């Protein structure tokens, strides 16, 4: 193998590995900054109150938790933000308590300017399967572009890692034979 081919292989390996590392960093930053979470919890799919369901999961009928209703830009603690269908959700929201559930008053109820949470989770059965029905992920609509972003990112990372591997084999002069497939 000539020095020129090794130099070309080293450049290819370095360039594509650097791009792969940039893509990995971008994905990690997108996750750690909360961008991915904000894309998942994008819009309200129903009229109701945006909440962070993790804050009241210990509520019981004997010891209910009370959520203060207000126009918060970020949900921290026991808070609820009124939202209409199609509105962007506030930061920290991971579910919606619908107005229909408040009217029923079985699990949650509206008292003055507060929401009283009595049953944050109940076991239900549908089509023979039991599942936990919580307010987490309920009543939300995800960003339609987030799925396309994930697919594009995975494809770009695959291309970068593929060319990086090709540069690695060129760098060390490895010649791998392709398998020939014969059709019958």
**39 vs 108, which has greater pLDDT?**
108
Q: What is the CATH number of the domain that holds 94?
A: 2.170.190.11
Overall domain count for the chain: 2
pTM (global) more than 0.85: no
- Please check whether residues 116 and 93 belong to one and the same domain: yes
- Please check whether residues 81 and 166 belong to one and the same domain: no
62-101 pLDDT, tens digit per residue, is: 999 999 999 999 999 999 999 999 999 999 999 999 999 9
106-163 pLDDT, tens digit per residue, is: 999 999 889 999 999 999 998 999 999 999 999 999 888 888 988 999 999 999 999 9
* 179 belongs to a structural domain: no
Task: Look at strands 65-69 and 79-83 and give their pairing.
Answer: parallel
CB-count burial class (<10 Å; 0-12, 13-18, 19+) for 177? exposed
CA distance 8 to 162: 16
* 183 belongs to a structural domain: no
- Please check whether residues 85 and 132 belong to one and the same domain: yes
H/E stretch holding 49 reads strand 48-51
- Please check whether residues 20 and 63 belong to one and the same domain: no
* 103 belongs to a structural domain: yes
The C-alpha R_g of the chain, in whole angstroms, comes to 26
Is the pLDDT reported for residue 181 higher than 90?
Answer: no
* 158 belongs to a structural domain: yes
What is the model's pLDDT at position 78?
Answer: 96
- Please check whether residues 25 and 82 belong to one and the same domain: no
- Please check whether residues 130 and 152 belong to one and the same domain: no
Q: What percent of the chain has pLDDT over 90?
A: 71
Give the range of the structural domain holding residue 163, as residue numbers without chain letter. Answer: 3-35+145-171
Helices (H), the chain: 3-32, 35-40, 99-104, 144-171
């Amino acid at each position: 193998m000539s020095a020129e081919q090794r130099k070309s292989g080293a450049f290819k390996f370095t360039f594509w590995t650097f791009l792969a590392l940039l893509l990995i960093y971008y994905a990690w930053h997108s996750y750690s900054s909360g961008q991915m979470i904000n894309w998942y919890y994008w819009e309200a799919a129903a009229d109701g109150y945006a909440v962070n369901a993790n804050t009241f999961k210990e509520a019981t009928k004997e010891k209910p938790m009370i959520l203060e209703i207000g126009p918060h830009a970020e949900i921290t603690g026991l808070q609820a933000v009124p939202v209409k269908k199609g509105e962007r959700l506030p930061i920290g929201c991971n579910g919606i308590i619908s107005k229909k559930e408040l009217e029923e008053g079985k699990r949650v109820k509206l008292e003055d300017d507060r929401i009283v949470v009595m049953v944050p989770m109940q076991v239900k059965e549908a089509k023979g399967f039991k599942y936990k029905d919580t307010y987490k992920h309920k009543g939300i609509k995800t960003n339609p572009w987030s799925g396309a972003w994930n697919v594009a990112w995975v494809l770009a990372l695959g291309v970068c890692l593929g060319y990086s591997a090709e540069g690695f084999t060129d760098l060390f002069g490895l010649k791998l034979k392709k398998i020939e497939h014969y059709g019958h």
